[in-house]
C-alpha cells in the first residue's frame, strides 16, 4: 500500500528554521515539502492555494501570527489541513491557544528529527488516533472559562470584588464583615453595589453571575 506522499507547507519567518525543517522532512520517504511561507498572511494564501495535508506553523511571524493564521485556515478551508503549531518555548497558554485555534498538534523547536517526522506522519493520518475531536471540545471549554469575563467585572471596585468573592464562598454578610474586619453595614453597602453592577436581584444571582463570568478563577 504505497500511499501518496504527505504534502507539507512550512510557515516560519526564519530562513534557517525553514531550511532545517525542509532538510529533515524531505529526506523522509512519503513526506514532501510543497511550499513555504514567511508570514502569517502568506501562510494563509499559500495553504489555500496548495491544499497541503500538514502545515508546520510558527507562532511568531510578521503581519499575522501563527495562531490567527491557524484560525483563519481552519475556519475557511474544508476540509482543513492538519496544522502543527511550532514554538520555541513550552508555554502552556500557547498550547491552549493552539488547540482552541484548531491546531491538530503542538511541537517544540528543540524536538529532535525523529520526533518531528513521527509527529508529521501521525498528524497526517489523524482520523482515528491520539486525541481527536475530544481535545477540541476540551479546549473549547477552556476558552469559555477564561475568555469573555463579562463587562461588569471591570466595573467592580477592589472592595466589591472582595465581597463578591466571599459571597461566592457562601458567607453571610455578617461573616464577610468579620473576615474583612469591617462593620456589617459596610458589607451591606458593598453587596448592594455588587447587585446593582451585576444586575443581580439577590446574592444568589450575583454568585451565579460570578461563576458564569469565570470571576472566581480570574480574580
Partner DNA sequence: ATCCCGCTCCGCCGCACGGGGGAGACACCG
Partner DNA sequence: CGGTGTCTCCCCCGTGCGGCGGAGCGGGAT
Binding site residues, a second copy, CB under 8 A: 90, 92, 95-96, 99, 105-108, 110-111, 114-115, 118-119, 121-123, 125, 128-135, 137-139, 141-142, 145, 167-170, 172, 200-205, 207-208, 211
Distance CA 207, CA 190 (A): 14
Task: State which of residues 174, 208, 216, 218 lies at the interface with DNA (CB under 7 A).
Answer: 174
By C-beta, is 69 or 207 nearer to DNA? 207
Task: State which of residues 60, 121, 159, 179 lies at the interface with DNA (CB under 7 A).
Answer: 159
| 210 near DNA, rule: CB under 7 A | no
Residue 97 CB neighbour total at 10 angstroms = 22
| 188 near DNA, rule: CB under 7 A | yes
Residues 6+ apart with CB under 8 A from 187: 163, 173, 174, 176, 177, 180
Q: Positive or negative CA dihedral for 181, 185, 186, 187?
A: positive
Q: Positive or negative CA dihedral for 28, 31, 35, 37?
A: negative
Segment near DNA (CB under 7 A), from 91-99, 107-115, 143-151, 182-190?
182-190
In whole angstroms, how close is the CB of 36 to a second copy at the nearest point? 22
In whole angstroms, how close is the CB of 98 to a second copy at the nearest point? 9
Nearest to 10 by CA among 28, 27, 29, 50: 50
In whole angstroms, how close is the CB of 73 to a second copy at the nearest point? 19
In whole angstroms, how close is the CB of 62 to a second copy at the nearest point? 26
Nearest to 28 by CA among 147, 116, 140, 155: 116
| 164 near DNA, rule: CB under 7 A | no
| 158 near DNA, rule: CB under 7 A | yes
By C-beta, is 192 or 218 nearer to DNA? 192
Helix (H) or strand (E) holding 45: helix 40-50
Peptide bond into 79 cis (omega under 30): yes
Return residues touching DNA (CB under 7 A): 157-160, 172-174, 177, 180, 182-186, 188-192, 195, 201-204
Amino acid at each position: 500500500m504505497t500511499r501518496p506522499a504527505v504534502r507539507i507547507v512550512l510557515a516560519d519567518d526564519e530562513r534557517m528554521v525553514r531550511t532545517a525543517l525542509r532538510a529533515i522532512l524531505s529526506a523522509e520517504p512519503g513526506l514532501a515539502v510543497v511550499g513555504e511561507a514567511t508570514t502569517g498572511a502568506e501562510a494563509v494564501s499559500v495553504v489555500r492555494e496548495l491544499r497541503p495535508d500538514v502545515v508546520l506553523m510558527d507562532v511568531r511571524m510578521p503581519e499575522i501570527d501563527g495562531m490567527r493564521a491557524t484560525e483563519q485556515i481552519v475556519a475557511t478551508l474544508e476540509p482543513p489541513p492538519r496544522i502543527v503549531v511550532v514554538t520555541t518555548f513550552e508555554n502552556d497558554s500557547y498550547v491552549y491557544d493552539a488547540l482552541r485555534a484548531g491546531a491538530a498538534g503542538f511541537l517544540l523547536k528543540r524536538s529532535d528529527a525523529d520526533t518531528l517526522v513521527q509527529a508529521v506522519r501521525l498528524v497526517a493520518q489523524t482520523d482515528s488516533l491520539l486525541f481527536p475531536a475530544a481535545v477540541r471540545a476540551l479546549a473549547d471549554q477552556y476558552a469559555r472559562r477564561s475568555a469573555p469575563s463579562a463587562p461588569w467585572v471591570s466595573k467592580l471596585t477592589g472592595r466589591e470584588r472582595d465581597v463578591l468573592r466571599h459571597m461566592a464562598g457562601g458567607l453571610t454578610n455578617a461573616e464577610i464583615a468579620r473576615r474583612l474586619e469591617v462593620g456589617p453595614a459596610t458589607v451591606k453597602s458593598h453587596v448592594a453595589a455588587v447587585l446593582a453592577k451585576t444586575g443581580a436581584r439577590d446574592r444568589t444571582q450575583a454568585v451565579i453571575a460570578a461563576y458564569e463570568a469565570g470571576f472566581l478563577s480570574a480574580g
